[in-house]
Amino acid sequence: MNKNSEKMIANLSSDKKCELFDFFLNEYLKGGFGSMNKSDIDVLVYAVLQKSGMDELSDYDASIELGITKQRIRALQEKYSIRYDVIEEDVAIDRFLKKLRHAKIEGAYIDVPIQDIALKNYLEAKLDANDLLLHKQLNSNIFRLRSDDLLSFIDILVPEDQISKEVIAKIIENEGALTNEGINIDVKKGDIKTQLVDVLRKKGPRVAIQILTGLIPGGTVAKTVIDAIASAV
């Protein structure tokens, strides 16, 4: 075993070690003793390592740690995320907020680096279920959104905040003024959300983020999300 792995495991509390032992044994015995094949045992051991602290490592560092290729790490991570790391909404949002610290603007897109397959699966499932277009690119570790998708994405991510309704109410209250730089919406024309999305698309990510930062009410998860993107880019 690599010295770093030995140190990681040695630093675990007795309670954590007992928890991981119970987890391993319960999973191994689910189908009957000896029924788990080598591939499944590898995934189970990988799950124990992830829960021991290896989840903090990049794919490259994990591959060095375990002496296997990055491709195999990704394959293990994919299986692990489906079997042992299906995440709840609050956990997903917390993980996503941490990733937003590293968001960048690339042309018309806001790119968020996400190696966490469980989180990516969660976000992509949200988009797919709500018919919001997922923008693919060559780097599979990048989660990509267009500026005009931001409002819809936040609505999907935290529907309880009812952000679109709050934003439209704020626009009406401001008589259509979106910024102090003369970007406005004609509130008398109706369909305010469609007009807003059109503005966000035409103005691009930086201005879109600025507009939404001013419109989304404080004290909401949605505000935390947009502020995190704004501070990163």
Q: Report DSSP letters for the chain, one per residue.
A: --HHHHHHHHTS-HHHHHHHHHHHHHHHHTT-TT-S-HHHHHHHHHHHHHHHTGGGS-HHHHHHHHTS-HHHHHHHHHHHHHHT-PPPHHHHHHHHHHHHTT-EEETTEEEEE---HHHHHHHHHHHHHTTPPP---S-TTEEEEEGGGHHHHHHHHSGGG-HHHHHHHHHHHTTTB-STTS-B--GGGS-HHHHHHHHHHHH-HHHHHHHHHHHSPTTSHHHHHHHHHHHH-
Last residue of a domain, one of 83, 114, 134: 83
19 & 63 share domain: yes
Last residue of a domain, one of 83, 103, 135: 83
Output the pLDDT for position 37. 92
27 & 118 share domain: no
11 & 104 share domain: no
Q: Which residue has the tokens 């490592």?
A: 57
Last residue of a domain, one of 28, 50, 83: 83
Output the pLDDT for position 134. 67
CA–CA distance, 181 with 20 (Å, rounded to integer): 56
93 & 74 share domain: no
Q: What is the pLDDT along the chain (233 residues), one digit of tens a residue?
A: 566 666 777 778 888 889 899 999 998 998 889 898 999 999 999 899 888 888 777 788 888 888 899 889 888 988 888 888 777 888 888 888 899 889 999 888 899 988 888 888 888 888 887 777 666 665 777 888 888 888 888 888 888 778 889 899 999 998 888 887 788 888 888 789 999 999 999 988 999 999 999 889 888 888 998 989 989 88
95 & 182 share domain: yes
Output the pLDDT for position 2. 63
| Token digits of residue 165 | 């309704």
119 & 78 share domain: no
77 & 103 share domain: no
Query: What predicted TM-score, i.e. pTM, was given to this entire model?
Result: 0.68
Output the pLDDT for position 78. 81
CA–CA distance, 50 with 44 (Å, rounded to integer): 10
57 & 170 share domain: no
Task: Please tell me the total number of residues recorded for the chain in this structure.
Answer: 233
Output the pLDDT for position 42. 93
75 & 161 share domain: no
Domains in the chain: how many in total? 2
7 & 30 share domain: yes
Output the pLDDT for position 136. 63
179 & 227 share domain: yes
Supply the range of the domain harboring residue 14: 3-83
Output the pLDDT for position 22. 93
36 & 93 share domain: no
Determine whether 40 is exposed, middle or buried from the number of CB atoms within 10 Å of its CB (0-12, 13-18, 19+): middle
